[in-house]
A and B are shown apart, each in its own frame.
Chain A
């Protein structure tokens, strides 16, 4: 099993602050996805990064894929209460069982943005 370590596990910050969430592995992934999950709901995709060194921006969110495709980060600028939720990274690898791919999820970072 390929492991994805996310840090920090919990993060509580004031509105307007910046933050970074990290997702690290010793394994190489063909691509990496970030999802956001709200209580009582399923995860929803935020972004997919494919190329080593790739940087993608989604409004106040900046995602980076490491050069070696083993790690990724999510940076939020000027956090808002609406950013509160569980952030999950997921690495995509080929899975030989049925000639398919498999998504391996990190344990998540629970973010609380206090007004």
Chain B
């Protein structure tokens, strides 16, 4: 079972470069989200989507863009990378938008911006 797949696993960017972090799930989940994890900060929500064509901002959306053209895919775009965006990024999906549903996480993308 693939679950939630993130690519790439590691990435080094130069300041000002743009890139897209890919996330795909094969569980037909409605809800998908992106988090960043920094030491001592826990997981912070960047953007989320409740279904194809519907996205919204989370706690720390600045510098990131998302779109959801299909149920399966939820890419995260860094428009102009900054050193402050050095972090580990996790994509997650859930079966529904109802409460008490399990979030399935990908293995993460470790991004370094130099």
Contacts and interface: CB of A to CB of B under 8 A. Distances in A.
Given A98-B56, A105-B43, A31 B103 contact: no
Given A43-B43, A88-B43, A101 B107 contact: no
B100 A48 contact: yes
B102 A48 contact: yes
Interface of A: 1, 9, 30-31, 33, 35, 40-45, 48, 50, 88, 90, 92, 95, 97-108
B59 A107 contact: no
B108 A98 contact: no
A8 to B, nearest CB: 13
B42 A42 contact: no
Interface in B44-82: 44-45, 48-50, 54-59
3 closest A-B pairs by CB: A42-B105, A107-B42, A105-B43
The B interface, classified by DSSP as helix, strand, loop or mixed, is: strand
B58 A102 contact: yes
Interface in B7-30: none
Interface residues of B, number: 31
A95 B54 CA distance: 14
A88 B58 CA distance: 19
A100 B99 contact: no
Given A42-B90, A45-B102, A101-B99, 6 more contacts: A42-B92, A98-B55, A99-B50, A102-B48, A103-B33, A104-B45
Of A40, A100, A107, chain B has the most CB atoms within 10 Å of the CB of A100
Contacts of A97: 56-57
